[in-house]
Amino acid sequence: MEKKNYLLQVDPQLTFSVNTQIKDQLKWLIGMGQLEVGDMLPSTSHLADELELNRNTINWVYSQLRDEGLVTMQKGRGTQIAGGSRTRSLVEERKSMQRLIDDTIREASAAGMDLKSFFMAGLAYTLLQPPRPTGKLRILLVECQGHDHPFYRSRIEQATGGEVEMLFLDEGSPGDAAVREAALRCDAIVATLNHAEEAKALFARHDRKVIVIGAAVEPSLLLAIANLKQGSRVAFVCLGRIGGEWMASRIREAGIQALHTEVIGMNERERLNEAARSFDKIYASDAVYSELKNLAPGKTELFPMKLEQSSANLLEEIASQAR
């Protein structure tokens, strides 16, 4: 893969953290297309040395980008720009922002203004404006990293207009203090059917209700898979094997049995390469589709999901109660 050249900078004189400076510069590089889907970010140790920062700072930045659905982090392989709806939304958002900011920079430079002072003053000036009610909810989504959590996150945001914070259960059991703080920060707590009971147990002691949502498969996909030749080798791939198993189970529940199926997580590189060489079809969740399409363009198909209607209704109810 071609190595991308770009320059990140940190300025300790700015009044917001170097963590935020680095994270937002990387988001701009993704939004402007200088970092594309599939590109690898520098290792945390390399970037920390380059910027003369603590490695934990870079770990924080990469973890935040992962939680926002913009990168994937795989042990032994590194951090990679993710495909999917979150990355596409960022690119679209930054296109219009870039035009406005470029025009502003030209005008401020022509007037002889110091750009950092100008933009810091501009940030302060926005705080003086009358507050505008955004109506945005703060929603905590409880999931694991093996399922297509960017799908659930984007659908919750679309249905509620809210801001979603992630709590990953497979990062270790969160302490009671962390759970209590998350419960206080959020207006609503949402879990998928995959982890409903775990989430309810976590937040029961804090007297917080957990709203459970689920996803379904598009009927057109079931028809397409049912029409595959008997005995076809088919792989179901998600961020982790647990997500791939969820995909395969939906096919079994539909009564489709005459296939040889396997589930694969994105960290299983040897098995992915084997599937690309010898399997007949690879069905990929939205979070991993772009990368797998590059690996096996003639075999990879999207595994399209949608929220169950009852789940969509629950999220719309949350949004209406906040208005």
pLDDT in tens, 19-69: 888 999 999 999 999 999 999 999 999 999 999 999 999 999 999 999 888
Instruction: Answer yes or no: do 125 and 148 share one domain.
Output: no
Instruction: Answer yes or no: do 197 and 266 share one domain.
Output: no
Choose one of 107, 132, 157: the last residue of a domain: 132
Q: How much is the pTM?
A: 0.62
Which of 201, 322, 323, 228 minimizes the C-alpha distance to 283? 228
Mean pLDDT estimate for the chain: 88
Q: Where does the pLDDT of residue 174 fall: very low under 50, low under 70, confident under 90, or very high at 90 and above?
A: low
Instruction: Answer yes or no: do 209 and 221 share one domain.
Output: no
Instruction: Answer yes or no: do 170 and 258 share one domain.
Output: no
Beta-carbon contacts of residue 17 (< 8 Å; ≥ 6 apart)? none
Instruction: Answer yes or no: do 223 and 210 share one domain.
Output: no
Residue located via tokens 């949608």? 306
Q: What is the CATH number of the domain that holds 200?
A: 3.40.50
Q: What is the CATH number of the domain that holds 126?
A: 1.10.10.10
pLDDT for 172 beyond 60:
no
Cα 59 to Cα 47: distance, rounded to the nearest angstrom = 10
Taking CA atoms, 134 is separated from 137, 227, 271, 272, in Å, by: 9, 48, 46, 44
pLDDT for 133 beyond 60:
no
pLDDT for 134 beyond 70:
no
Instruction: Answer yes or no: do 243 and 201 share one domain.
Output: no
Instruction: Answer yes or no: do 180 and 84 share one domain.
Output: no
Q: Residue 4's domain spans which residues?
A: 1-132
Instruction: Answer yes or no: do 223 and 239 share one domain.
Output: yes
Instruction: Answer yes or no: do 145 and 226 share one domain.
Output: no
The two structure tokens encoding residue 155: 């659908």
pLDDT in tens, 302-321: 999 999 999 999 999 888 87
Cα 149 to Cα 143: distance, rounded to the nearest angstrom = 7
Choose one of 111, 132, 153: the last residue of a domain: 132
The two structure tokens encoding residue 8: 């990140």
pLDDT for 135 beyond 60:
no
Within 13 Å of residue 125, how many CA atoms lie on the same side as its CB?
A: 6
pLDDT in tens, 66-118: 988 899 998 888 999 998 878 888 888 888 788 889 989 999 999 999 998 99
Choose one of 97, 132, 167: the last residue of a domain: 132
Q: Who wins on pLDDT, 135 or 116?
A: 116
Taking CA atoms, 191 is separated from 156, 181, 213, 246, 266, in Å, by: 11, 17, 6, 15, 23
Instruction: Answer yes or no: do 47 and 148 share one domain.
Output: no
Which of 244, 240, 293, 243 minimizes the C-alpha distance to 267? 240
pLDDT for 132 beyond 60:
no
DSSP character string of 159-192? HH--EEEEEEGGG-PPPHHHHHHHHHH-SEEEEE
Instruction: Answer yes or no: do 285 and 316 share one domain.
Output: no
pLDDT in tens, 247-267: 999 999 999 989 999 999 998
* 140 sits in which H/E element: strand 138-143
Beta-carbon contacts of residue 230 (< 8 Å; ≥ 6 apart)? 258, 259
pLDDT in tens, 266-284: 989 999 999 999 999 999 9
Taking CA atoms, 78 is separated from 45, 72, 83, 133, in Å, by: 11, 8, 15, 40
pLDDT at residue 6, rounded to an integer:
64
Q: Where does the pLDDT of residue 155 fall: very low under 50, low under 70, confident under 90, or very high at 90 and above?
A: very high
> In the chain, how many domains are there?
3
The two structure tokens encoding residue 138: 């703060």
Which of 86, 217, 198, 199 minimizes the C-alpha distance to 153? 86
pLDDT at residue 11, rounded to an integer:
60
pLDDT for 13 beyond 70:
no
Instruction: Answer yes or no: do 19 and 127 share one domain.
Output: yes
Beta-carbon contacts of residue 293 (< 8 Å; ≥ 6 apart)? 284, 300
DSSP state of 11: -
302 three-class SS: strand
Rounded mean pLDDT, 177-184? 79
